[in-house]
Amino acid sequence: MSYPPIRLYLDGAFVEGRSSTRVQVRNPADGTLLAEYAGASAADLQDALAAAERGFAIWSRMLALERFRILTRATALIRERAPAIARVLTLEQGKPLAEALREAQLAADIIDFLAEEGKRLAARGVPPRLPNVVSQTVARVPVGPVAAFTPWNFPANLPARKLGGALAAGCSVIIKPDEQVAATCLEMARALHDAGLPKGVLGVVMGHPPEISSTLIASPVIAKVSFTGSVPVGKQLGELAARHMKRYTAELGGHAPVIVCADADIAAAVKLGVQAKFRNAGQVCASPVRFLVQRSRLDEFREAFVAGAKAMVLGSGLDEGTQVGPLIHERRCSQMQVLVDDALEHGAQLLCGGNRLDRPGWFYPPTVIEGAPPEAQLQQVEPFGPIALLDAFDTLDEAIARANALPYGLAAYGFTKDLASAHRLAQELQAGMVGINHFGVSQPETPFGGIKDSGYGHESGLEGLLGCTEVKLVSVALS
């Protein structure tokens, strides 16, 4: 499949947006124009809301088993079409084709897990305390139509988490994917459409993000808001959701620490660390950022990590052998340069990378920086790019205190062979997800979510499904 024309998906049909605002999609690997499309107008958004209300009435009353059948028909189609979806994903987002293919397949796994759990949402019976009450049931019911907002770094997985949770729970959903990567989300919508999803159950709208979020969140149709993206926008949408008394889930940024103890398997920590750091060019919210290595092993770690970073092959995601693709936008490249220059001005040492590549597209090389002081922006601001920070620590107390010093709390990692140190890291690292001796904390079966400024609530896993439900008590007495 070449890059498809981009439409909105409204009330079961793929239609042109009616806004006069046009959106351009550029290939981040070379800057060429992939598509230009019209965004959603105010009337399109009202149509999406009316359709979501009708869709909810149908979908929430359907048997869970029937919903499961439609969702798993859709995931079979996603798997069948994964090579074509992956190509679209790489064209618009830039990541290597092999990563894009894995992402499309994982998106199907995410929805499958949620669809399975959707069949098992059993009610709980509570023994009555009043003599004439014959049953007290605590049921999990769909929360209502959901407004979902996803960013550009995982164009298939992030919609899969939001659509999978909402649809498996019996909710209708209007999703606004990031405008740059909407084609991947639309391919997932097409799979759901082809699998027989009833009209109105899903809407896909793009355009002017603040207009879309303020319209959807304020609408009485919408019961729940789910956002993935930056902390400032997440807080803004949280305020809006609170004003309108909407349920809210937020998956925001991180600045993940990695504590490498002297007793750790350094070769494994380096190998896994390089892979995890530069996956998707570092544009991952759970990406490791601050590598804190116990002083006695720092030289060994540094040498191997920098060699690993330098060996990464940069290029277009469509080229065979590419390990690191471009960044998503020109402005992300400029932001990397600002952060690196600021760290160097604060006395940090550049070990590799550090300068934007002089070639078409938005390429920034794997970059390793040592000794950036706490005042440097990089020690506080999420780089969301291919930059690793390296520092020494002396005691575990000190490392844990430094790891926890930021307002973020998404993912944190530790490498050690010592059971007591592993236990301390698991207990004391302030994060929604802690990985000991590996980085694989994001799986379809496990909840994904952060604490502190990194978010509120969870997606994926059983928790992702429960987040799209409401608790309802029904107490029945004999009359």
**Residue of 323, 297, 298 whose CA lies nearest to 311:** 323
Binding status of residue 379 toward ligand NAD by CB under 6 A: no
- Calculate the alpha carbon distances from 381 to 146, 255, 342, 347, 406 in Å: 30, 8, 12, 17, 9
Find the binder of ligand NAD among 56, 291, 301, 384 (CB under 6 A).
384
Contacting ligand NAD within 79-118 (CB under 6 A):
none
Q: How far apart are CA 55 and CA 52, in angstroms?
A: 5
Stretch that binds ligand NAD, among 76-84, 229-237, 270-278, 425-433 (CB under 6 A): 229-237
Nearer to ligand NAD, 252 or 264 (CB): 252
Position 233 contacts ligand NAD (CB under 6 A): yes
Q: Is 408 in the site for ligand NAD (CB under 6 A)?
A: no
Residue number, 215 or 421, with CB nearest to ligand NAD: 215
Structure tokens at 346: 């604060």
E-assigned strand segments in 126-238: 133-142, 146-149, 173-176, 202-204, 224-228
Site size for ligand NAD (CB under 6 A):
19
Residue 209 engages ligand NAD in binding (rule: CB under 6 A)? yes
Element at 392 (helix H, strand E): strand 387-393
**Binder to ligand NAD among 56, 152, 248, 363 (CB under 6 A)?**
152
| 251 vs 230: CA distance, rounded Å | 8
Using the CB atoms, write b or e for 176-213: b if 16+ within 10 Å: bbbbbbbbbbbbbbbbbbebebbebbbbbbbbbbebbb
For residues 461 and 446, is the Cβ–Cβ distance under 8 A? yes
Residue 83 identity: P
What phi and psi, each to the nearest 5 degrees, are found at residue 224?
-145, 145
Minimum Å gap between C-beta 181 and ligand NAD is 8
Cα 348 from Cα 350, distance rounded (Å): 7
Closest to ligand NAD by CB, 158 vs 399, is 158
Residue 362 contacts ligand NAD per CB under 6 A? no
Q: Work out whether 459 is an interface residue with ligand NAD (CB under 6 A).
A: no
Q: Which C-beta is closer to ligand NAD: that of 35 or that of 76?
A: 35
List binders of ligand NAD among 256-315 (CB under 6 A).
285
Instruction: Decide whether 178 or 391 has the Cβ nearer to ligand NAD.
Output: 178
Between 228 and 379, CB nearer to ligand NAD:
228
Site stretch for ligand NAD (CB under 6 A), options 21-29, 223-231, 297-305, 355-363: 223-231
Q: According to the binding rule CB under 6 A, does residue 446 interact with ligand NAD? A: no
Q: Please, what is the minimum distance in Å from the beta carbon of residue 153 to ligand NAD?
A: 5
Structural contact between residues 287 and 441, judged by C-beta atoms closer than 8 angstroms: no
Q: Which stretch binds ligand NAD (CB under 6 A): 56-64, 145-153, 351-359, 470-478?
A: 145-153
| Candidate residues 230, 380, 404, 443; the one interacting with ligand NAD per rule CB under 6 A | 230
In the complex, least distance from residue 209 CB atom to ligand NAD, rounded to whole angstroms: 4
For the chain, the C-alpha Rg in angstroms (whole number) is 23
Does position 12 interact with ligand NAD (CB under 6 A)? The reply is: no
Q: Which is nearer to ligand NAD, 62 or 451 (CB)?
A: 451
Quick check: 382 binds ligand NAD (CB under 6 A)? Answer: yes
- Say how far apart CA 462 and CA 473 lie, in whole Å: 20
Task: State the residue for tokens 């430094």.
Answer: 402
178 is a site residue for ligand NAD (CB under 6 A): yes
For residue 178, the Cα-to-chain-centroid distance in whole angstroms is: 12
Among 75, 219, 226, 228, binds ligand NAD (CB under 6 A): 228
CA–CA distances in Å: residue 80 to residues 183, 202, 449: 17, 21, 30
Catalytic positions are 251, 285
252 binds ligand NAD (CB under 6 A): yes
Query: Is the CB of 70 or the CB of 378 nearer to ligand NAD?
Result: 378
Angle between helix 157-169 and 97-119 (nearest 10): 10
Contact 209, 234 (CB under 8 A): no
d(CA 237, CA 356): 33
Q: Which is nearer to ligand NAD, 117 or 251 (CB)?
A: 251
Of 139, 118, 108, 106, the closest CA to residue 68 belongs to: 118
Q: Amino acid identity of 261?
A: C
253 binds ligand NAD (CB under 6 A): yes
Task: Tell the smallest beta-carbon distance from residue 329 to ligand NAD (Å).
Answer: 7
The letter for the amino acid at 134 is V
151 binds ligand NAD (CB under 6 A): yes
Task: Return the range that interacts with ligand NAD (CB under 6 A); candidates 54-62, 224-232, 300-308, 346-354.
Answer: 224-232
Q: Which helix H or strand E contains 307, and what residues bound it?
A: helix 298-311
φ/ψ of 176, rounded to 5, equals -110, 100
Residues that bind ligand NAD (CB under 6 A): 149, 151-153, 178, 209-210, 213, 228-230, 233, 237, 251-253, 285, 382, 384
